[in-house]
């Protein structure tokens, strides 16, 4: 049978891809179907064909999966933020944990370890402390702000987002109305003209603080006082900032920011540790789950009072400050200067004198720090970006040979790749625990404990 574009088929969904698409077969021909779940029997329209596989659009659920629920957000299918909101939350957790274990085995060859139960949320809504709303023009010519549709830069206007603090939506709407009221120009990606690019908000779950940062294709904004006057009415407003970004890039924030009103950061707490967070700082978006994840990392590391710990890719020092309360000395390394500045202030604010922060690439600065200061780490914690650890850093960790490595990962595929390297350098994967930092999306964080078996 030849599968052609626009054909309609009734397909049983038997598996799912890493991006949350359902997988079904028609006479052995594989179709990938967005929004379909394992167990669905669905009517599917073929929208694109390749030689060995194709893509289908979900047209109708003939018989729903036992794990299918009605998404509470009306934009769930069109918005790119929540890929699996139509899946019950317990099923989401089970799928994410299985995905991690499958990738560890398939990519890393990792099999004999203890998989601890995934850490989920009691109420998986309104958990995000950060939003980055792209700004564009709607069909009616008015300013539109919200989130991108999946695999596109088409903006889905956001009257509300059930993952965000309601004050974040309120602040975004104030900015959108200000743009329309005063005819403020909006950035056009095709021409690189126009002023307003993104509206960023950060909120503090423990402190109730909120800040807004406008990302602009310029260095200043008109009618600034009118905007400040409205934004300062938002409960808990702490700072209003501007981040110039005049590059033709998909990178959202510029390399700097300046304060228009208030202060250039919010504060928040994880457990009894407080943190100062600026617009450019990396800070986990789900503070309730962040505490669970970092306590898992601390439990895995279990530093003794005479031990030295390296925290690589340390951001604003979130894990470092947890570790510093138990270890002798902690050394944090991060490439972003603004994050290191925040990390040092965070250590100062928390009265911790045994933690030291350095700015640079982890793969370059870690060996130099060991050589120049004659430091040997007993424990190394790594929390790299999605691309994983640099290959030269993994090589150096094999040489450094700490007794433990705790790997915190936001991408199970690159995690599996890096674990394969580390197990080849004399380490054993002892424990893995997943943490659902991003309910209703396909993303999952993991913490892994590796122990040294032999020196290489």
SS3 content of the chain, % helix, strand, coil (to 5): 25, 35, 40
- DSSP classification of residue 410: S
CA-CA distances (angstroms) from residue 82 to 134, 327, 443?
Answer: 17, 39, 10
Active-site residue, 410 included: yes
293 sits in the region (left: phi over 0; alpha: psi -120 to 50; else beta) called alpha
Two structure tokens written together for 345: 């202030």
Q: Distance (Å, rounded) from C-alpha 22 to C-alpha 94?
A: 16
- HEC string for 252-310: CCCCCCEEEEECCCEEEEECCEEEEECCCCCCCCCHHHHHHHHHHHHHHHCCCCCCEEE
Q: Distance (Å, rounded) from C-alpha 89 to C-alpha 80?
A: 18
Contacts by 137-141, CB closer than 8 A, 24 or more apart? 137/186
* Residue partners of 299: CB distance under 8 A and separation at least 6: none
The residue from 158, 410, 434, 435 that is catalytic is 410
Which SS3 state, helix, strand or coil, does residue 235 take?
A: coil
Residues noted as catalytic: 410
């Amino acid at each position: 049978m030849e599968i052609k574009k626009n054909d309609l088929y009734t397909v049983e969904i038997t598996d799912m891809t890493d991006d949350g698409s359902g997988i079904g077969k028609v006479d052995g021909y594989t179709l990938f179907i967005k929004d379909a779940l394992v167990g669905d029997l669905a009517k599917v329209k073929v929208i694109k064909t390749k030689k060995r596989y194709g893509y289908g659009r979900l047209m109708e659920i003939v018989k729903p999966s036992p794990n299918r629920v009605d998404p509470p957000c009306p934009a769930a299918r069109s918005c790119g933020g929540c890929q699996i909101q139509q899946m019950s939350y317990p099923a989401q957790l089970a799928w994410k944990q299985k995905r991690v274990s499958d990738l560890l085995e398939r990519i890393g060859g990792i099999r004999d370890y203890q998989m601890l139960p995934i850490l989920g949320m009691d109420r998986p809504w309104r958990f995000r402390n950060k939003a980055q709303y792209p700004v564009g023009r709607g069909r009616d010519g008015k300013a539109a702000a919200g989130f991108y549709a999946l695999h596109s830069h088409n903006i889905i206007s956001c009257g509300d987002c059930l993952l965000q603090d309601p004050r974040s939506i309120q602040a975004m709407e104030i900015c959108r109305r200000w743009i329309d009221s005063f005819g403020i120009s909006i950035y056009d990606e095709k021409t690189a003209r126009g002023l307003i690019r993104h509206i960023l908000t950060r909120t503090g779950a423990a402190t109730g603080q909120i800040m807004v940062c406008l990302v602009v294709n310029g260095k200043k904004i008109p009618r600034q006082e009118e905007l400040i006057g409205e934004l300062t009415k938002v409960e808990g407003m702490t700072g209003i900032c501007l981040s110039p970004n005049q590059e033709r890039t998909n990178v959202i924030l510029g390399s700097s920011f300046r304060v228009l009103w208030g202060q250039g950061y919010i504060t928040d707490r994880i457990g009894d540790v407080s943190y100062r967070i600026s617009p450019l700082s990396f800070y986990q978006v789900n503070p309730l789950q962040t505490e669970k994840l970092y306590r898992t990392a601390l439990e895995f590391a279990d530093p003794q009072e005479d031990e030295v710990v390296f925290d690589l890719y340390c951001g604003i020092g979130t894990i470092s400050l947890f570790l510093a309360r138990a270890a002798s000395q902690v050394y944090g390394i991060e490439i972003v200067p603004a994050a290191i500045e925040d990390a040092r202030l965070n250590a100062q604010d928390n009265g911790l004198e045994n933690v030291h922060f350095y700015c640079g690439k982890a793969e370059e600065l870690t060996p130099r720090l060991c050589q120049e200061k004659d430091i040997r780490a007993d424990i190394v914690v790594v929390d790299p970006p999605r691309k994983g650890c640099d290959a030269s850093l993994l090589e150096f960790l094999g040489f450094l040979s700490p007794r433990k490595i705790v790997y915190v990962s936001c991408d199970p595929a690159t995690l599996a790749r890096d674990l394969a390297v580390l197990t080849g350098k004399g380490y054993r994967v002892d424990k893995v625990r997943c943490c659902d930092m991003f309910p209703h999306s396909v993303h999952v964080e993991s913490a892994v404990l590796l122990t040294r078996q032999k020196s290489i």
